[in-house]
A and B are shown apart, each in its own frame.
Chain A
Amino acid sequence: MAPGRKGRIARRTAVLTAVVALSLTMEIAGYHATPAAERPEVSYTTLHALVPLVFAACAGVAWKIGPTRAPARLMVAFVVLWIPQSIYRVIGEWEWVWPVVRGVDLGWAVIAGILVLVYPKGFLSDAFDRWVAGIALVASVVNLLAVLLLASPESAGCTACAPNPYQLVDAPALYGLIDVGYRIVGVGLALAIAGRLLVRWVRASVPARTVAFLMPLALFAWATTLAAQAVTYATATTTDIVLATVSLIAMASIPVSFDAGVSHARNMRARVADLMRITREGADRGLWAESLARTLRDASVRVYWWDEERGRYADAAGVPIDDAEADPRGSHSILPVASPLGAPIALIRHDRVLTDNMRLLDGVSSALRLSVDNGRLRSEIERTLEQVRQSRQRIVEAGVEARRRIERDLHDGAQQHLVSLGMRLRLVANEARDRGVEPLGAEIDGTITMLNQALRELRELAHGIHPSLLSQGGLALAVPELAGRCPVPVEVDVQAEGRLPELIESTAYFVVAEALANIAKHSEATRAWVRAHLEDGWLVLVIRDNGRGGASVDAGTGMLGIADRVEALGGTLELESPPGAGTTLTVRMPLPAPSD
């Protein structure tokens, strides 16, 4: 890549240097070859020599920033074709050369016209442009043939020249007609181009004017002076020096306008990069359209978003696009943006002039596509995550509720019935003893003992399902009770005064229960510590032991289920268990806002 680029730069520099040197040499030679009496003023000649220099300099810039290579090449061609004007007097003695040079001495004007036509895209983009260019070329060829076949040194205004060897007939009237006609066609075309640019500029909105105002102005000034010159040429032979000076300045301003316009468009592309940044930050639709307008420097930009439900495009406020705005012949163009799969996303109604800058619009539509895709994905993910989060919480809630209900059913049902049954059996046993059936009494006593054992087991079971102490006294009561059941001595510090939401309490309780069960089973610890406290709207549980460590959440210790429950409530679980250095489990759960 680098050597190619270097080579290109070197080649271009060489070309520019060569044409500039040639142009200056010829200009100076032409000046000296002109008889002193006919010489124009030095200042005019200097200005005349400066025009190709401006073109050469602009060619260098255009090569660097231009949309295609055509504008720079046209500018170089201009420099070369500018030469014949000044030198055909120098080469007037070379009869084989001067008629050819005389025939192309207005080629620079054709090149200048085409340069204006390829602005700003770098190629002839529509039929009008191609027609104009075509007519200009045909006219130039006709003119060249006319000069070659009809011109004599006298009719060509070069009295010092050798006779024209190509001349077929001596028809000064016909030659003069073609010569003047050629100039009139040229002026007509130049005026047409200038007029067209002017109309486009007048109808365009702000950005179009900032981009294009220099070019038609330059062309218009030049065409006007050219027209005046043509008239002067046709009627007399003296040239108005003021008119000629204005014409030169106008001509020199064409490549400058070209480069300025292209560079302006490039700045716009840089602003598309800013738009991309805004897009990445996920701005909303209204803001995005505003940023777009700012980026394009076109306050008339409207973005109409595809409304899937209604099957139409509407702006961020919901106002649908009207047909007049969608009319492609208006001052605005419509840029449809669709997702990679072809689903419509939006229409961007923008100033027509921006159509000439496809790379800018490509950037804009890519940004929009990204923005919409990002937005869609983001909201989809957020929605899905929220659903998952809610359903996880509902599952945990349902689990807690189910446990609470089972415990209560056991308490009010089976346990109650078994207690009553024991009581009745006792009454029956007493009755049996009263009736003197002692063995039966003893038998029933045994049954009661078994029943009480069953009750005891049932009580433990119910307690494990959902500790009644938790719903009655909260963590402050339930955690010490839990710690008391642990075979490893546990130091408890619960600083959660008052009651927390049931779901949080119950989850915290089972976290502690599971952690203490693991400590009892696996840790070989001799001490454990349980701390629960509130911190900035979070319940923080720290369960620590001095055991052998090496515990992990996924080692099938039941900790995974606990982690799931904690995370379902938006909490976090952190297990720190280096081998040989005890285990610390830290669980944080967000408490609902106080207003809830």
Chain B
Amino acid sequence: MNEARALRVAIADDALLLREGIAKVLEGGGIDVVASVGTGDELLEVVRGGGIDAAVLDIRMPPSYRDEGIAALEAMRAGGSTIGVLLLSMYATPEYALRVMGAGSGTGYLLKERVSEPQTLVRAVETVASGGSVVDPEVVEQLVKRTRADDPLSRLTERERSVLELMAQGYSNGGIAQTLFLGLKTVETHVRSILQKLDLEESPEHHRRVLAVLTLLGER
């Protein structure tokens, strides 16, 4: 991140213990936690107040403990807010990941237990704040593990599969190159080949690529 000032983040989770823990981890990563609330509605209030770069929120919150987090995300996007939104969930549910990605760019979906990996959490917040996409590796793993007849994934090479998984997790070509210790050009070649084999269009917008890959994995 090349921004001079620290990111300003709001946290929403009905469990106070976790809220405090998340705040501590983020602060340890140089992020300003400016608000910490217990419900989606309260978070929407804070976001409307302005001055927030990103929000970290639980999916399951009062009052019905169902999908209040995603509803809050959709409400923010409907209200025109483009701040980064990172959703945390106890379960890795691909259907939710797709819904989160479908809300637009600058969104992320992580398992709650990633809070014990400060780097992952901090990097995810920074990614969504800058308009990038983050999908928990376990979600991708579940999707890739899904067995279908005439699986298009069977047309991919081993290396292409690894690249695809990182694409689905929201990594940019640069990120993939770094993670897999490959040259950027090589990664770009792999990506083009994958998109061609899976019949996907190369999208100029990064998060659309993530959504397309996830959708393909989910519908395959």
Q: Is residue A387 contacting chain B, with contact meaning CB distance below 8 A?
A: no
Q: Is residue B6 contacting chain A, with contact meaning CB distance below 8 A?
A: no
Q: Are B24 and A427 in contact (CB under 8 A)?
A: yes
Q: Are A426 and B117 in contact (CB under 8 A)?
A: yes
User: Which residue of A419, A426, A480 contacts B18 across the interface (Cβ within 8 Å)?
Assistant: A419
Please provide the chain B residues from 1 to 51 with a CB less than 8 Å away from any CB of chain A in the complex.
Answer: 15, 17-18, 21-22, 24-25, 28
Q: Are B25 and A426 in contact (CB under 8 A)?
A: yes
Q: Are B25 and A423 in contact (CB under 8 A)?
A: yes
Q: Is residue B118 contacting chain A, with contact meaning CB distance below 8 A?
A: yes
Report the separation of the CA atoms of residues A418 and B111 in the bound assembly, to the nearest whole angstrom: 13
For A459, what are the chain B residues with a Cβ–Cβ distance below 8 Å? 90-92
Say yes or no: A448-B60 contact (C-beta < 8 A), given A424-B21, A477-B95.
Answer: no
Q: Are B149 and A422 in contact (CB under 8 A)?
A: no
**What 0/1 pattern do residues 440 to 462 of A give for CB contact below 8 A with B?**
00000000100110011001001
Q: Is residue B148 contacting chain A, with contact meaning CB distance below 8 A?
A: yes
**What 0/1 pattern do residues 144 to 174 of B give for CB contact below 8 A with A?**
0111110100000000000000000000000
In the complex, which range does the number of interface residues on chain A fall in? 35 or more
Tell me, rounded to whole Å, the shortest Cβ–Cβ distance linking A382 to chain B: 39
Q: Are B60 and A484 in contact (CB under 8 A)?
A: no
Report the separation of the CA atoms of residues A430 and B24 in the bound assembly, to the nearest whole angstrom: 12
For A427, what are the chain B residues with a Cβ–Cβ distance below 8 Å? 24-25, 28
Please provide the chain A residues from 11 to 38 with a CB less than 8 Å away from any CB of chain B in the complex.
Answer: none
Q: Is residue A415 contacting chain B, with contact meaning CB distance below 8 A?
A: yes
Q: Is residue B81 contacting chain A, with contact meaning CB distance below 8 A?
A: no
Tell me, rounded to whole Å, the shortest Cβ–Cβ distance linking B36 to chain A: 15
Q: Is residue A527 contacting chain B, with contact meaning CB distance below 8 A?
A: yes
Tell me, rounded to whole Å, the shortest Cβ–Cβ distance linking B148 to chain A: 5
Q: Are B112 and A419 in contact (CB under 8 A)?
A: yes
- With a 10 A CB-CB cut-off, give which of A418, A419, A487 has the most chain B CB atoms: A419
Q: Are A423 and B116 in contact (CB under 8 A)?
A: yes
Q: Are B149 and A489 in contact (CB under 8 A)?
A: yes
Q: Are A481 and B25 in contact (CB under 8 A)?
A: no
Closest chain B residue, CB of each to CB of A463: B91
Q: Are A489 and B148 in contact (CB under 8 A)?
A: yes
Tell me, rounded to whole Å, the shortest Cβ–Cβ distance linking A34 to chain B: 118
Segment of A123-131, A306-314, A464-472 in the binding face: A464-472
For A420, what are the chain B residues with a Cβ–Cβ distance below 8 Å? 15, 17-18, 21
Q: Are A469 and B91 in contact (CB under 8 A)?
A: yes
Q: Are A486 and B147 in contact (CB under 8 A)?
A: yes
Q: Are A481 and B117 in contact (CB under 8 A)?
A: no
- With a 10 A CB-CB cut-off, give which of A408, A456, A462, A489 has the most chain B CB atoms: A489
Say yes or no: A422-B115 contact (C-beta < 8 A), given A412-B15, A527-B149.
Answer: yes
Say yes or no: A469-B17 contact (C-beta < 8 A), given A422-B115, A448-B116.
Answer: no
For B66, what are the chain A residues with a Cβ–Cβ distance below 8 Å? 471-472
Q: Is residue B130 contacting chain A, with contact meaning CB distance below 8 A?
A: no
Tell me, rounded to whole Å, the shortest Cβ–Cβ distance linking A498 to chain B: 15
User: Which residue of A424, A456, A488 contacts B147 across the interface (Cβ within 8 Å)?
Assistant: A488
For B60, what are the chain A residues with a Cβ–Cβ distance below 8 Å? 411, 468, 472
Closest chain B residue, CB of each to CB of A429: B116
User: Which residue of B90, B94, B96, B149 contacts A484 across the interface (Cβ within 8 Å)?
Assistant: B94
Q: Are A489 and B147 in contact (CB under 8 A)?
A: yes
Q: Are A416 and B15 in contact (CB under 8 A)?
A: yes
Q: Are B21 and A423 in contact (CB under 8 A)?
A: yes
In the complex, which range does the number of interface residues on chain B fall in? 20 to 34
Report the separation of the CA atoms of residues A526 and B150 in the bound assembly, to the nearest whole angstrom: 12
For A416, what are the chain B residues with a Cβ–Cβ distance below 8 Å? 15, 17-18, 90
Report the separation of the CA atoms of residues A471 and B64 in the bound assembly, to the nearest whole angstrom: 10
Tell me, rounded to whole Å, the shortest Cβ–Cβ distance linking A418 to chain B: 8
Q: Are B15 and A451 in contact (CB under 8 A)?
A: no
**What 0/1 pattern do residues 385 to 422 of A give for CB contact below 8 A with B?**
00000000000000000000000100110011111101
Closest chain A residue, CB of each to CB of B66: A472
For A316, what are the chain B residues with a Cβ–Cβ distance below 8 Å? none
Report the separation of the CA atoms of residues A118 and B146 in the bound assembly, to the nearest whole angstrom: 95
Q: Is residue A162 contacting chain B, with contact meaning CB distance below 8 A?
A: no
Say yes or no: A484-B91 contact (C-beta < 8 A), given A419-B116, A426-B117, A427-B25.
Answer: no
Q: Is residue A473 contacting chain B, with contact meaning CB distance below 8 A?
A: yes
Report the separation of the CA atoms of residues A422 and B60 in the bound assembly, to the nearest whole angstrom: 20
Q: Is residue B142 contacting chain A, with contact meaning CB distance below 8 A?
A: yes
Tell me, rounded to whole Å, the shortest Cβ–Cβ distance linking B103 to chain A: 15
Q: Is residue A425 contacting chain B, with contact meaning CB distance below 8 A?
A: yes
Tell me, rounded to whole Å, the shortest Cβ–Cβ distance linking B147 to chain A: 5
Q: Are A425 and B91 in contact (CB under 8 A)?
A: no
Report the separation of the CA atoms of residues A505 and B15 in the bound assembly, to the nearest whole angstrom: 29
**What 0/1 pattern do residues 133 to 146 of B give for CB contact below 8 A with A?**
00000000011011
Q: Is residue B188 contacting chain A, with contact meaning CB distance below 8 A?
A: no
Q: Are A472 and B67 in contact (CB under 8 A)?
A: yes
Report the separation of the CA atoms of residues A526 and B67 in the bound assembly, to the nearest whole angstrom: 35
User: Which residue of A408, A452, A462, A481 contacts B116 across the interface (Cβ within 8 Å)?
Assistant: A452
Q: Are A425 and B90 in contact (CB under 8 A)?
A: no
Report the separation of the CA atoms of residues A323 and B127 in the bound assembly, to the nearest whole angstrom: 96
Report the separation of the CA atoms of residues A452 and B137 in the bound assembly, to the nearest whole angstrom: 14
User: Which residue of B21, B25, B65, B95 contacts A480 across the interface (Cβ within 8 Å)?
Assistant: B95
Report the separation of the CA atoms of residues A451 and B114 in the bound assembly, to the nearest whole angstrom: 12
Tell me, rounded to whole Å, the shortest Cβ–Cβ distance linking A448 to chain B: 5
For A463, what are the chain B residues with a Cβ–Cβ distance below 8 Å? 91
User: Which residue of A462, A481, A487, A488 contacts B93 across the interface (Cβ within 8 Å)?
Assistant: A481
Q: Are A452 and B95 in contact (CB under 8 A)?
A: no
Q: Are B116 and A484 in contact (CB under 8 A)?
A: no
Report the separation of the CA atoms of residues A10 and B90 in the bound assembly, to the nearest whole angstrom: 99
For A491, what are the chain B residues with a Cβ–Cβ distance below 8 Å? 149
For B93, what are the chain A residues with a Cβ–Cβ distance below 8 Å? 468-469, 481
- With a 10 A CB-CB cut-off, give which of B90, B115, B218 has the most chain A CB atoms: B90
Tell me, rounded to whole Å, the shortest Cβ–Cβ distance linking B114 to chain A: 9
Give me the 7 closest cross-chain CB pairs, A-B, nearest first: A422-B116, A423-B21, A484-B146, A489-B149, A472-B66, A426-B116, A423-B115
- A/B interface sample: 20 pairs, CB < 8 A: A416-B18, A419-B115, A419-B116, A420-B18, A420-B21, A422-B113, A422-B115, A423-B24, A426-B116, A427-B25, A448-B116, A452-B116, A459-B90, A463-B91, A469-B95, A472-B66, A480-B95, A481-B93, A481-B95, A489-B147
Supplied contacts A420-B18, A481-B94, 12 more A-B pairs, CB within 8 Å: A411-B90, A415-B90, A416-B90, A420-B15, A420-B17, A423-B24, A426-B25, A426-B115, A481-B93, A485-B146, A489-B147, A489-B148
